[in-house]
């Protein structure tokens, strides 16, 4: 089967313009019972279905038992507050093109954010914050060409994005980010000729992308995500019609100028407009 997908990471820019989450409650005095931090105002529109399995392609896993929320310790609250500061500094560095400085700040922030999520997994704003931090970190590593780190961070972020999307079913931007991550993970599998491993990622991305284009039929970002998922799935699935759907959609998008630079080469090969 011919392969058309280009293994292009970071289909989306990192969510750099996001509002920093609210600071957690001030660290309580040692004599008081620590309170969990206020749910941070998540950095813009993340989303993710509740399947807690990090990698659907590797088979189902036994769901973890439900956990009971606990109060965070004073040290954990202080660390979370510092993580908010570090995340904000990471965004500023990334916007200025200092990706090395950005990853240093994101890598410093992520453990404390993860602790907050583990303390109370039901706080969706904290989950959203962690998903965004991992995603922004991946973008910064990708800009430096460290693609192994990108894939690792995408795999880490995947269950959190699924949870966000499940909690925010009308949030198209978060749904698109999740679909883009799934496509990139599928591309990584396809690049090693693991079509069986790639297909579940593409299929999940297709479902999400179809929902986004149904909600916003003229949105170029949503259309390109769907096209990417179709290009990938047409190489891994036995489902009839996927390749024709990708070709027809790609032709229409080339005609109206909405196709992006990632999808154009694949569609040119699939349509015979370009060889190789």
pLDDT at residue 68, as a whole number: 82
Asked if pLDDT for residue 247 goes beyond 60, the answer is yes
Q: Is 251 exposed, middle or buried (0-12, 13-18, 19+ CB in 10 A)?
A: middle
Asked if pLDDT for residue 22 goes beyond 80, the answer is no
Measured distance CA(220)–CA(120) in Å, rounded: 37
Residue 227: which residues within 8 A CB-CB, separation 6 or more?
246, 249, 250, 253, 259, 263, 267
pLDDT at residue 14, as a whole number: 41
| pTM confidence score | 0.79
Structure confidence at residue 276 as a pLDDT band (50, 70, 90): low
Measured distance CA(12)–CA(221) in Å, rounded: 9
User: Quick one: average pLDDT of 47-71?
Assistant: 50
Domains of the chain as residue ranges with CATH: 72-168 (1.25.40.10), 170-276 (1.25.40)
Digit-coded pLDDT (tens) for 95-143: 999 999 999 999 999 999 999 999 999 999 999 999 999 999 999 999 9
pLDDT, mean over the chain:
83
Question: Which DSSP helix (H) or strand (E) runs through 42?
Answer: none
Which range (54-68, 75-89, 113-127) has the least confidence? 54-68
Question: Which has more confidence, 32 or 64?
Answer: 64
Question: Which has more confidence, 35 or 104?
Answer: 104
Digit-coded pLDDT (tens) for 201-230: 999 999 999 999 999 999 999 999 999 999
Whether the Cβ atoms of residue 212 and residue 47 lie closer than 8 Å to each other: no
Give the whole-number percent of the chain exceeding pLDDT 90.
73
Measured distance CA(25)–CA(74) in Å, rounded: 10
Structure confidence at residue 145 as a pLDDT band (50, 70, 90): very high
pLDDT at residue 233, as a whole number: 97
């Amino acid at each position: 089967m011919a392969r058309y997908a280009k293994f292009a990471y970071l289909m989306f820019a990192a969510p750099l313009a996001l509002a920093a989450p609210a600071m957690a409650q001030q660290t309580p005095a040692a004599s008081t019972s620590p309170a969990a931090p206020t749910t941070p105002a998540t950095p813009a529109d993340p989303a993710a279905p509740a399947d807690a399995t990090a990698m659907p392609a590797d088979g189902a896993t036994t769901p973890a038992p439900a956990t009971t929320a606990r109060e965070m310790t004073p040290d954990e609250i202080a660390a979370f507050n510092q993580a908010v500061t570090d995340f904000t500094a990471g965004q500023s560095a990334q916007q200025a093109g200092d990706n090395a400085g950005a990853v240093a700040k994101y890598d410093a922030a992520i453990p404390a954010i993860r602790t907050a999520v583990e303390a109370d997994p039901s706080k969706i704003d904290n989950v959203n914050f962690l998903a965004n931090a991992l995603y922004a970190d991946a973008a910064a590593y990708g800009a430096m060409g460290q693609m192994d780190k990108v894939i690792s961070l995408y795999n880490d972020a995947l269950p959190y994005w699924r949870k966000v999307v499940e909690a925010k079913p009308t949030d198209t931007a978060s749904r698109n980010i999740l679909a883009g991550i799934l496509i990139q993970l599928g591309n990584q599998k396809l690049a090693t000729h693991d079509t069986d491993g790639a297909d579940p990622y593409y299929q999940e991305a297709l479902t999400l992308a179809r929902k986004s284009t149904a909600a916003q039929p003229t949105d170029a970002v949503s259309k390109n995500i769907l096209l990417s998922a179709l290009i990938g799935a047409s190489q891994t699935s036995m489902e009839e019609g996927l390749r024709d759907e990708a070709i027809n959609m790609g032709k229409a998008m080339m005609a109206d100028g909405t196709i992006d630079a990632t999808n154009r080469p694949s569609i040119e090969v699939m349509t015979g407009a370009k060889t190789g």
